[in-house]
Amino acid sequence: MNEIYDKLKKCTDVCRSITDFKPRVALVLGSGLGQLADEIQIEKTIEYKDIEGFPLSTVQGHRGRFVFGKIGETPVVIMQGRVHYYEGYLMSDVVLGVRIMRMLGAENLFLTNAAGGINRSFQPGTLMMITDQISSFVPSPLIGANIEELGTRFPDMSRIYDSGLQSMIYETAEQMNIPLQKGIYLQFSGPAYETPAEINMAEALGADACGMSTACEAVAAKHMGMKICGISCITNMASGRSEGPLSHDEVQTTADLTADRFKQLIKSCIMRM
């Protein structure tokens, strides 16, 4: 028996013993968006700490629980708080939550995050729909014996972000008069913010925004056959793109200021999924 799969099944069983709720959409909330989970029609919550072996976030401002409920008519499971690779967890633990949500029945995955803006046309507060990603700077969550029950050894990643969901998100934003950019997200390991030289490298590689999460989750979810979409909130211009040092405070302040618009967009999109 594969240890990682064993743990996934045990954690899924714990959730199943608490609720038989079957989500259609899985939503991962990034910095500043946590409140969205409190605003839905909640049917059940499960604290991560009540799931033996589940990794707990060490970052301030990140809560730790699954929230089950409905947004409009769409049954959703929400990760209110995620863990990051820089916290010291194995990649298999970093993506455990996403895998559990898939095991619980979710077919669609909506990823959100706070990100640094690399594209010079962005500014703090810009929302960017993710069209593709670069995950080459962090280990793949699929390293190790392939778990056949989850997916194939060499999964295709040519279209991680579903084109139908992208069109739907773009149209929804347009109808709501919410400006929405598109771009490529690059995941760095963190926890230090990047150097200007690293940001110039990322730009040369084609990245529009960077952060410390998300891409690994998308790889694990794609492996399991999920339909994926994602939006980044550009909380700051990336290192070297603006004056002054980067700080977690700046990231959180912009995330909070943008949260209302971001939450409305996410909710309207999920109602259509």
| Separation in Å, CA 132 to CA 13, 128, 219, 234, 244 | 33, 11, 11, 16, 29
Query: Considering beta carbons, is residue 75 or 190 the nearer one to ligand HPA?
Result: 190
Q: 31 catalytic, yes or no?
A: yes
| Nearest distance in Å: CB 188, ligand HPA | 6
Collapsing DSSP to helix, strand or coil, 187 comes out as strand
- Which helix (H) or strand (E) segment is 11 a member of? helix 3-18
Q: At its nearest, how many Å lie between ligand HPA and the CB of residue 211?
A: 4
For residue 159, give the amino acid letter.
R
Site string for ligand HPA, 181-220 (x = CB under 6 A): -------x----xx---------------xxx--------
223 is catalytic: no
Which CA distances in Å does 144 have to 89, 92, 101, 124, 148?
16, 10, 21, 38, 12
> Of 96, 182, 70, 85, which Cα lies nearest the Cα of 135?
85
**Tokens linked to 236:** 């700051």
Residue ranges in 126-165 that form contacts with ligand HPA under rule CB under 6 A: none
Query: Hey, how many other C-beta atoms are within 10 angstroms of the C-beta on 159?
Result: 12
Rounded to a whole number of angstroms, the minimum distance from the CB of residue 196 to ligand HPA is 11
Complex with ligand HPA: residue 103 or 210, whichever CB lies closer: 210
How, if at all, do strands 209-211 and 108-117 pair?
Answer: antiparallel
Tell the residue number behind the tokens 């995950």, with chain if given.
Answer: 135
Sequence letter at residue 175:
Q
Q: What are phi and psi of 101, to 5 degrees?
A: -60, -35
Please identify which of the residues 236, 237, 238, 239 carries the catalytic annotation: 236
Residue 235 touches ligand HPA, criterion: CB under 6 A = yes
- Side chain identity at residue 161, one-letter code: Y
Min CB(1)–ligand HPA separation in Å = 36
Told to check if 114 binds ligand HPA by CB under 6 A, we report yes
Query: Based on CB atoms, which residue is closest to ligand HPA, 79 or 212?
Result: 212
**Closest approach of Cβ 107 to ligand HPA, in Å?**
28
Residue 71 found at the interface with ligand HPA (CB under 6 A)? no
Catalytic hit among 108, 213, 232, 239:
213
Phi/psi-derived region of residue 53, left when phi > 0, alpha when psi is between -120 and 50, beta in every other case: left
Q: Tell me which residue has its CB nearest to ligand HPA.
A: 116
Pick 110 or 185: Cβ nearer ligand HPA: 185
What is the rounded distance in angstroms from the CA atom of residue 98 to the CA atom of residue 104? Answer: 10
Say how many C-beta atoms besides its own lie within 10 A of residue 136's C-beta: 11
> Radius of gyration of the chain from Cα atoms?
17
Is 213 assigned a catalytic role? yes
Number of residues that bind ligand HPA (CB under 6 A): 14
Catalytic, out of 114, 209, 224, 226: 114
Binding mask 27-46 for ligand HPA (x = CB under 6 A): --------------------
Q: Which residues are catalytic?
A: 31, 62, 84, 86-87, 114, 212-213, 236, 248
Q: Which residues bind ligand HPA (CB under 6 A)?
A: 114-116, 188, 193-194, 210-212, 235-236, 238, 246, 251
